Structure 1
Amino acid sequence: MASNSGPAGGERKKNDDKDVPPPLPAPLTVPVADSHTHLDMQKHATVEEALAAAASVGVTTVVQVGCDLAGSRWAADTAAAHEAVWATVALHPNEAPRIELGDPDGWSRQGTREPGGRAALDAALAEIDRLAGLPQVKGVGETGLDFFRTGPEGMAAQEYSFRRHIGIAKQHGKALVIHDREAHDDVLRVLAEEGAPETVVFHCFSGDAAMAKVCAEAGYYLSFAGNVTFRNAQPLRDALAVAPLDRVLVETDAPFLTPMPYRGRPNASYLIPVTLRAMAEVKGIDEDALATAVAANTARAFGY
């Protein structure tokens, strides 16, 4: 991992260099898991370095999340090679319409235009189904709906893909990891219509307190990321405050959503303690109590 110190060995002032990883926080005394990360998108450390940095502060398990076919295969392979890593596999909600429309931009890593159509999407989903059966793969996701980045022309493919992912999760008895961006009502509608899997995790929960109560009543898990620390994120903190302790997870979504005071700099699993401590303040409990609950919740949700 790149050095976290500035000139003359002193720690850099926060946010003075957007490309410099933040310093290591004080370690947790109760080990926890990062329930959602993207090791393949992080450029400041190898997988081994990232896992070592995380373990040094008490983050002893990470869930590596797939967003397309290449990323899902990589997640499964990485989990097979590292005891501290579990995998989830899926087509991201913004990937499904790109496959159907034959658009190479965005999540696709091939960089070339491929024939589109529903048959192409079905073939990709068949590969996700195959990967979901692997023992090191503990979840199907991130899947769901994203009405922020996908326009009306892609909504049908998104919803079709989401429904298929729900079926894959149920078939394999794996957790369903949901990406929900500006689509709360429709995500809940599709879950109700299809019948939710036994375990549902709302990744980077983005709803308010009212939605948190709805999800909790349904038995869903709510995973909170570094954006819960942002100044303008009071609705997220309100949601966390009402979320039952046995339904709460913590994640980085690294390299994105770096918690305050390092917003804008690269995120990584070793920053979980920063977010967890902020969450403990919102919940009004000490960090060990929250860490104990989060560790048990994550292991229960992903079945490891």
Structure 2
Amino acid sequence: MTIIDELGLPGLPEALPRGIVDNHTHTLTTTNYSKLRPADSLELAASVGVTHVVDVGYDVASSRHALALADEFPQVVAAVALHPNDAATIATRDGDEPFEATLAEIESMVPEARAVGETGLDYYRTRDADGKLAQERSFRRHIGWAKEHGKTLVVHDRDAHDDILRVLDDEGAPERVVMHCFSGDADFARACTERGFWLSYPGVVTFGNAEALREAARATPLERVLVETDAPFLTPAPERGKHNAPYLLPHTVRFLADLLDVELAEFCDLVTANTFAAFGGRWGDDA
């Protein structure tokens, strides 16, 4: 019996013909988010062609853990941030002093990280005016850190498309911006790529009710396409509803290659090159 069987996880997909990068996962960062140990998760991912991973922090503890994992595993790089919903919660529940102290702790980790994020705006879970204001304050600070330290900015955008662009335009976007878990339509995709952003497509693009997202993917220049799991969330078809992990990324990769009419090996090479460009260069043993 394999570890997948023991833990009741989805089976291994067919391996990809070329290596590819999961540019956004949380499953390595904390055991609360994964049934697999980091070493096992990375081994399973590598067995199906997912050779590199961006592990994404969302608060102080997970950001520290992401940095520690990047130190331990050469195929991993870390992103550090305070998630917008956490920013809203801390500011409205605990007040300005704890909010500022938390941001200062995140800022202290930025020089060691490959990216700043995920940061941004989330109007799905945070709907009150004070919470939205706290999110924007945090977002602006993260943008500044990314620019100051030459880091990639990883943007969380949920139901906040117009304000995301407003804040980025107002602050001046960093050189490299990744729109994580892209959820806009074709017009928004064009607005983002016209600004030079990369758009990262999750397993949602495989869902039957996601035609608008598929239209966005078709409208995205191939050199701006990235792919992610956002594991343990958003597991792609045919495993939708089950626990997600980096080793399931091939389902989304195959779907997008077919959708965009690109031969699979070529698509893997393209997305890998895009990801290293978006995150400021290669990493791992082959860097």
TM-score over 0.5 for the pair? yes
Residue 81 (structure 1) shift: 0.9
Residue aligned with 1:145, SS:
strand
2:15 corresponds in structure 1 to 27
Is residue 2:109 matched to residue 1:131?
yes
1:51 corresponds in structure 2 to 42
- Conservation of the 8 A alpha-carbon contact between 2:123 and 2:159: yes
2:127 corresponds in structure 1 to 151
**Which consecutive residues of structure 2, in runs of 5 or more, have no partner in the other structure?**
283-287
Residue 165 of structure 1, aligned match among 131, 134, 142 = 142
1:212 corresponds in structure 2 to 189
Q: In the alignment, residue 127 of structure 1 is paired with which amino acid? A: E
Residue aligned with 1:133, SS:
helix
- Conservation of the 8 A alpha-carbon contact between 1:132 and 1:140: yes
Residue aligned with 1:94, SS:
helix
Question: Runs of 4+ in structure 1 displaced over 6 angstroms?
Answer: none
Residue 219 (structure 1) shift: 0.4
- Conservation of the 8 A alpha-carbon contact between 1:20 and 1:265: no
Q: Deviations over 1:158-201 (max 9, x none)?
A: 00000000001111100000000000000010000000000000
Residue aligned with 1:63, SS:
strand
1:70 corresponds in structure 2 to 61
1:111 corresponds in structure 2 to none
Residue 123 (structure 1) shift: 1.5
Is residue 2:88 matched to residue 1:100?
no
Identity percentage of aligned residues: 52
Mapped partners of 2:141, 2:161: distance in 1 = 18
Cα distance, 1:286–1:64 mapped onto 2, change above 3 Å: same
RMSD over aligned Cα, in angstroms? 1.3
TM-score normalised to the size of structure 1?
0.88
Residue aligned with 2:14, SS:
coil
Mapped partners of 1:22, 1:3: distance in 2 = 7
- Conservation of the 8 A alpha-carbon contact between 2:4 and 2:10: no
1:178 corresponds in structure 2 to 155
Residue 4 (structure 1) shift: 3.6
Residue 287 (structure 1) shift: 1.1
Residue aligned with 1:261, SS:
coil
Residue 251 of structure 1, aligned match among 225, 228, 232 = 228
Q: Deviations over 1:104-154 (max 9, x none)?
A: xxxxxxxxxxxx2222212211111111101xx111000000000012131
Q: In the alignment, residue 276 of structure 1 is paired with which amino acid? A: V
Q: In the alignment, residue 255 of structure 2 is paired with which amino acid? A: A
Mapped partners of 2:277, 2:34: distance in 1 = 31
Q: Which has the higher helix share?
A: 2
Mapped partners of 1:251, 1:190: distance in 2 = 24
2:209 corresponds in structure 1 to 232
Residue aligned with 1:3, SS:
helix
**Which consecutive residues of structure 1, in runs of 5 or more, have no partner in the other structure?**
6-18, 103-115
Mapped partners of 2:266, 2:182: distance in 1 = 21
Mapped partners of 2:211, 2:4: distance in 1 = 33
1:2 corresponds in structure 2 to 3
Mapped partners of 2:278, 2:67: distance in 1 = 18
Residue 252 (structure 1) shift: 0.2
Is residue 2:127 matched to residue 1:117?
no
Mapped partners of 1:121, 1:96: distance in 2 = 7
Return the index of the structure with the highest Cα Rg. Answer: 1
- Conservation of the 8 A alpha-carbon contact between 1:170 and 1:197: yes
Mapped partners of 2:123, 2:115: distance in 1 = 23
- Conservation of the 8 A alpha-carbon contact between 1:20 and 1:266: no
Is residue 2:84 matched to residue 1:90?
no
Residue 261 (structure 1) shift: 1.0
Q: Deviations over 1:207-240 (max 9, x none)?
A: 0001111111110000000010000000110000
Mapped partners of 2:5, 2:275: distance in 1 = 29
